Amino acid sequence: MSKFKASGKRETPGITSGSLSDIVFMLLFFFMVTTQMRDQEQKVVVKLPEATEVVKLERKDLSSYINIGTPTRALQAQYGTDARIQLNDSFKTVDDIRDFIAAERESMSEGDRQFMTTVIKADQDVRMGIITDVKQELRRCSALKIMYSARKASKE
Amino acid sequence: MAKKTPAINSSSTADIAFLLLCYFLMTTTMGSQTGLQRRLPPMPDKNQKVEDQKVNRRNIIVVKINSADRILAGSDPIDISQLKDKIKIFLSNPTDDPTLPEKVATDIEGYGQAMVSKGVISLQNDRGTSYQAYIAVQNELVAAINELRDEFATRNYGKTFMQLPEDKQDIVKKAVPQNISEAEPKDVAKK
């Protein structure tokens, strides 16, 4: 009757961890493909408004971003709680947009400049006054293609 | 006799890969940018005299948002939920109402003649309007136009606008144009 009895000491075989790295590499590639580099540090709090009819931004490399919102909590002591404009990594005023757009244009190739899109990322509680100023300035720089950044809301 | 090379211990490659993975997780952002695309009108020439473009009164609807985020469409105050239907009726003018925009038979390449509405939506806002309300109104306007485009597409091609190939989409875009004018800013608020 000792046919099914374990005979002697039996060791559990070690799990081969050789394929573990393959799995992790697969994860890695997934993240590399689906994400893009964070290009700048957020200095303003931006909670995007919701919209149902949003479209995707086509050429991400041809877009420049204008962030508008209240400064983050850590910076509020220094800059106050009024809505500010952030270009690249610092707070700017409306007058600096001209230089910013010129610099962005400069960095693109000749043929791509006409497709440049300026993405306005504004907080939903920002007043339109500041955005109107930005829009007027963009018109003056003839950067006419703009996009109001918005989150996709589900259709009811 | 050749010596057997000892197997390289590969258990640490997983750790290396994890490190790389963590690096990418920290430095990248997920998700794509979405939003409402618009074209701003070019700045009027300084030499050019400012003359009002002659647009027939019936062809224009003025949508105003005041600093309390209330909406005025045409001549009466309206709730945002009704705005889309109002714009749709304005642009499609199903009963050929003489107070609503006229329609002009236009030749569209690849389609033939279509009745294209001459309606223009003029959007005006106050400096005190909240961005959220502004985007909500913009969204309703686009939604109205998108629905009209869908209707046109299903009537003619039996598919929704998004399912059509690009050349057909261009035809629909010409038949149902998106004429939203963001007017020069006006300071309406009187404090």
**Facing B131 at nearest CB: one of A20, A63, A128:** A128
B43 contacts A146? CB cut-off 8 A:
no
A53 touches chain B (CB under 8 A): yes
Split at pLDDT 50, 70, 90, the class of B65 is confident
The full DSSP string for B26-59 is: HHEE-S--EEEEEEPPPPPPSSS--------GGG
> How big is the A-B interface in CB pairs under 8 Å?
152
User: Per the CB < 8 Å rule, is B138 touching A51?
Assistant: yes
Give residue B113's pLDDT: 77
Q: Do A150 and B136 touch (CB under 8 A)?
A: no
pLDDT of residue A6: 59
Give the C-alpha separation, B95 to B92, whole Å.
Answer: 9
Is residue A104 within a helix (H) or strand (E), and if so which, with residue range? helix A97-106
In sign, the C-alpha dihedral spanning A65, A69, A74, A75 is positive
Q: What burial letters (b/e) apply to B138-172, b meaning 16+ CB within 10 Å?
A: bbbbbbbbbbbbbbbbeeeeeeebeebeeebeebb
Contact B135 A49 (CB under 8 A): yes
Residue B189 has pLDDT above 70, yes or no: no
Say if A134 is an interface residue toward chain B (CB within 8 Å): no
Q: From CA A5, how far away is CA B72, in angstroms rounded?
A: 87
Residue B94 has pLDDT above 80, yes or no: no
Identify the pLDDT of residue B85: 85
Residue B3's SS3 state is coil
Predicted local confidence at residue B89, as pLDDT:
84
Measure CA B52 to chain center. Answer: 25
Higher pLDDT pick, B32 / B71: B71
**A136–B135 CB contact, under 8 Å:** no
Question: Within the 82-111 window of chain A, which residues sit less than 8 Å (CB to CB) from chain B?
Answer: none
What DSSP assignment string belongs to B85-132?
HHHHHHHH-TT--TTSPPEEEEEETTTEEEEEE--EEEEEE-TT-BHH
CA distance A141 to A135: 10
Tell me if B15 sits within 8 A of A25, measured CB to CB. no
* Domains of chain A, start order: 44-152 (3.30.420.270)
The rounded mean pLDDT for chain B is: 78
CA angle (A63 as vertex; A62, A64 as ends), nearest 5: 130
Contact criterion met (CB < 8 Å) for B18 and A36:
no
Phi/psi for B143 (5° steps) reads -60, -40
pLDDT confidence band for B1 (50 / 70 / 90): low
Task: Give B188's pLDDT tier (boundaries 50, 70, 90).
Answer: very low
Please answer yes or no on whether A35 and B24 come within 8 Å at the CB atom.
yes
Distance CA B89, CA B54 (A): 23
Q: Taking 70 as the threshold, does the pLDDT of residue B128 lie above it?
A: yes
**DSSP category for residue A107:** T
- Which residue is listed with tokens 């589900």? A154
* B190: pLDDT strictly greater than 50: no
Of A38, A53, A56, the CB nearest to B146: A53
Q: Decide: pTM greater than 0.80.
A: no
Residue A124: what pLDDT? 84
**Chain B contact set for A24 (CB, 8 A):** 14, 17-18, 21
Which chain A residues are closer than 8 Å to B24 by Cβ? 28, 31-32, 35
Contact assignment for B34 to A54 by CB distance below 8 Å: yes
Distance separating alpha carbons of residues B111 and B176, to the nearest angstrom: 13
A123 touches chain B (CB under 8 A): yes
Work out the burial of residue B111: count CB atoms within 10 Å of its CB; fewer than 13 is exposed, 13-18 middle, 19 or more buried: middle
Give the H/E segment covering residue A76: helix A76-79
Grouping H, G, I as helix, E, B as strand and the rest as coil, residue A105 is helix
> Residue B187 pLDDT more than 80?
no
Tell me the chain A residues in contact with residue B16 when contact means C-beta distances shorter than 8 Å: 21
Determine the Cα–Cα distance for residues A86 and A88; give it in Å rounded to an integer: 6
Per cent of chain B over pLDDT 70 is 86
Task: Write down the mean pLDDT value for chain A.
Answer: 80
Question: Could you read off the pLDDT of B3-46 as tens digits, one per residue?
Answer: 788 877 777 888 888 888 888 888 777 666 788 888 877 776 66
Fill in the amino acid letter for B179.
N
> Looking at the complex, does the CB of residue A1 fall below 8 Å from at least one CB of chain B?
no
Residue A56: list chain B partners with CB under 8 A. Answer: 32-34
The pLDDT assigned to B75 comes to 80
Q: Cβ of A73 under 8 Å from any chain B Cβ?
A: no
* A69-73, A131-135, B11-15, B128-132: least confident range: B11-15
pLDDT digits (tens, 9 = 90+) for A92-137: 888 888 888 888 888 888 888 878 888 888 888 888 888 888 888 8
Mutate to test the interface with A, among B29, B37, B125 (most CBs of A within 10 A): B37
Q: Name which residue leads in pLDDT, B157 or B33.
A: B157
Strands B60-65 and B120-125 turn out to be parallel
In this prediction, residues B99-106 reach a mean pLDDT of 76
Q: Is A119 on the interface with B (CB under 8 A)?
A: yes
CB A132 to CB B28 under 8 A? no
Q: Do B143 and A52 touch (CB under 8 A)?
A: yes
* A32-54 pLDDT per residue, tens: 887 776 666 777 888 888 888 88
